Structure 1
């Protein structure tokens, strides 16, 4: 057997092991759960949670709250991301805008996001759009940080070449700035996705009468811990599908023409 063949075989086994690790982790967690629940009063058994899961998943009314939360999340993150990108681009031309964004980012990152979410609900009221706006406002600083890093790393030679070829501002942004910023934008999306869910669930628990957060609140009010566990599993499953079934696939397609450089930039952006 040649060295290359051995290397390929080793890589194949490593890939299989890496893919099996999540499954093994879940099985270990279920095993621990089965053991621990016998020594507690309130923790439901895996069989109770399974029965509740079948009941919830088979009920068509379940998917309304899920859809409501997804719509709020997409709008909130979208508004926050667009605002971060536009203000960071404006900061390239205006030192005042740059200083304003930097100051807000520093303050917003230090203060706990969940505390700001509760404060926002008190100020804006308990409506659907207040939850969306809070997600957008709190996502903004975490999206702006990688975007600012990307703009700082933009090479002056590229901008100078665009100026020599008389691209103009719009064409420079489209053909030079945005392609360079793409890895940093994806990094911002990943950061915003995780934070956006946390903020949205808190807003739905305390203010909005629909969505996944509201279902958590209903289950807690009824002290139905099995139902809480099912909604937690649904919540984690949605995050995993978006992270690995949507973002990762889109990312691969967008950067399939420069895989090596993209990986390096993603490491730098993260």
Structure 2
């Protein structure tokens, strides 16, 4: 039996409609009540819908009929394959930042927008450069990327890269760095496991190597870092780390970075000597192999 209090609450929600989103006791209740609504939210509000609390079907059902939305939506690290906003033509952000963020969804292949969609910031609140962020969704199809770029060509919008992964922030396993491009900061853990990456690419994020036990980060040379102006890039306090002069020069050409309090610069001579020794040993084995082949050829004659 439904209690009087519950009935009273449902009447209140029915009167309010789907404009005052903060009145809903749960996201589930919001979906059940507003799945056919043409208007969701009203300005100003600070409502942020976190997609991880919904299934893919629930999420798409909520926005299936919506034509005007005033809220922020964050779709982070879900297993969704498709997001749909087919009838939505006006989207006003909340007071908490960009209207829509779709980041780090490894299975996401398609995002469908109405071609007439327009995004707006709420006036009187801090200005956020981007109203929409779609980054680090590694399976996003090239067709979807081109369609999104076409729809958002009049907005300040960064076109997603094909095959771009979202980095977890703290990298403990190098095996996660096997994508064509990366979105997020590269911050190495105290110890790293996994093979050195054989694939490199663009990194839209900061580089932080601080107080680790690493002794070699030469592999970062292959990555093309594009940190934002807010990054504090640094390689400091790594007691076992010897950085070659060429790597330091390379990183300083790419970004504003602080490199200090690692092994003293004299370690570079040891690194160079070790490298030269490896080259000499390699050449020695090549010569021996060629001599063995030559001797074998003469023996066959």
TM-score calculated relative to the size of structure 1: 0.21
Q: Which has the higher contact order (CA 8 A, sep 6+)?
A: 1
User: TM-score of the superposition, structure 2-length normalised?
Assistant: 0.19
Which structure carries more helix by proportion?
1
Q: Which has the larger radius of gyration?
A: 2
